[in-house]
Structure 1
Amino acid sequence: MTPASDIAYIAFEGDRCVASGDLRMVARAAKETLDRRRDTVVLVFGSSSGPVEIDFRGSVDDVLARLPNPERAVAAEDVAQPAPRGPGRPKLGVVAREVTLLPRHWEWLAQQSGGASVALRRLVDEARRANKDKDRVRQAREAAYRFIAAMGENKPHYEEVARALFAGDAERFQAWTAAWPADVRDHARRLAATAFEQPAAPAVAG
């Protein structure tokens, strides 16, 4: 089975997968399917974002022209805002945002080496490293749930499948999805695979 990370987008006509791959390829295949069968419905999903809204009006070229360009679409929070250059080292990649804390938090931060901003960045980086495995499992579980909520709600044992997913019970998830249509079943299992991984055990000093 192809890993979910290798399938950026996937399109379903009913319970049948009609395309998977990058957004432009999937959108083209979805539009062509809709043009061939005007009474059908095609849903497009991102591997981590859930259902994707695509405007299918007009020609294939019209549809593709309205798609976001992944090479240009950079999340706003990842873009450093330009600021007047001053003395000292340039703050590359730093974005100013408002943070609301209690007085005791500000007092503690003020006592840290480098000041509040440096301390906050250090705490965030440490939390990201410490929770990397948990975050990956959580994100996979949420992605799988968004898919099965859209595609599996009318399928047999839907509630049992959802419970097994959030309980981390891979065996029950496999069993309850066995009766689902093959394409829906396989993609649900593909998305959920990471959600059932066990976090790596801490290294023990010899």
Structure 2
Amino acid sequence: MHPLSPIYCIIFHHQRRIAAGELAEAARLAHSQLGPQAVAETQVFDAQSSRPIDIDWRGSADDVAARLQPAAATESGPAARGRPRLGVVSREVTLLPRHWEWLGEQPGGASVTLRKLIDQARQADEAQGQGARRRAQESAHRFMTAMAGDAPGFEEALRALFAGDRQRFEQFTGEWPPDVREHSRQLAAVAFAA
């Protein structure tokens, strides 16, 4: 994701969904609804991946929203020399010598070849529908664990999610608090459809 792209989230206070949308605006709404004390008891999730998002709730609703706004791109004089920043992240890759040898023989070098291989694998994964299903299962699993880990039928619902059994999933999530149940089902729907 581009660093200036908005982050969409969903915010729960205990078992109740209180806000959803672009992060800064959803946080402003939550802070306004609950006040500075109760808002600290919320759980904020990335709307797509269900990864938790930490928010500094200090100050007014406007202060919180201002801290969450993506940094604006600024013009800082003439363009810098050299290669443009493309969002490339350097990390360590461990391969056997024969892999390094093969990569070194490829046109463009190791980095270009690895990027091409990864893109091909991702496209094949998406063509088979496995990527979307796996991401939906992982997102639903994260959310359910955080919000319904001690709810009745939790483990059975997880088994049904990963088995692709929508009927059993809905049966075991049926007694959960309404907002948690509905969001869990919404996240899982993509996994069942894939």
| TM-score of the pair, normalised by structure 1 | 0.74
Partner of 2:94, secondary structure, is coil
1:150 aligns with 2:146: yes
Offset at 1:28? 1.3
Residue 65 to residue 50, structure 1, CA distance change in 2 (3 Å): same
2:101 aligned residue (98, 107, 115) = 107
% same residue: 49
Structure 2, unmatched stretches of 5+, are 1-6, 74-79
- Partner of 1:44, secondary structure, is strand
Counterpart Cα distance in 2 of 1:58 and 1:156: 38
SS in structure 1 of the partner of residue 115 of structure 2:
helix
Match status 1:131 vs 2:125: yes
Distance 1:70 1:129, change over 3 A: farther
Structure-2 change in CA distance of 1:34 and 1:92 (3 Å): closer
List, as ranges, runs of 4+ consecutive aligned residues in structure 1 with deviation greater than 3 Å.
36-40, 82-85, 91-99, 110-118
Q: What amino acid maps onto 1:12 in structure 2?
A: F
The one of 121, 130, 138 equivalent to 2:115 is 121
**Residue 40 of structure 1, CA deviation:** 8.0
User: Which amino acid letter does the alignment assign opposite residue 156 of structure 2?
Assistant: E
Instruction: Work out the CA distance in 1 between the residues paired with 2:167 and 2:71.
Output: 37
Please say if 1:193 is aligned against 2:189.
Answer: yes
CA contact 2:31–2:39 (8 Å) conserved in 1: no
What is the number of residues matched between the two proteins? 178
Q: Secondary structure at the match of 1:51?
A: coil
Confirm or deny that 1:140 pairs with 2:136. Answer: yes
How far 1:35 sits from its partner (Å)?
Answer: 1.2
On the 8 A contact 1:34/1:42 being kept in 2, the answer is no
Which structure features the higher share of helix residues?
2
Unaligned runs of 5+ in 1: 1-6, 73-81, 86-90, 199-206
Indicate the SS of the match to 1:99. Answer: coil
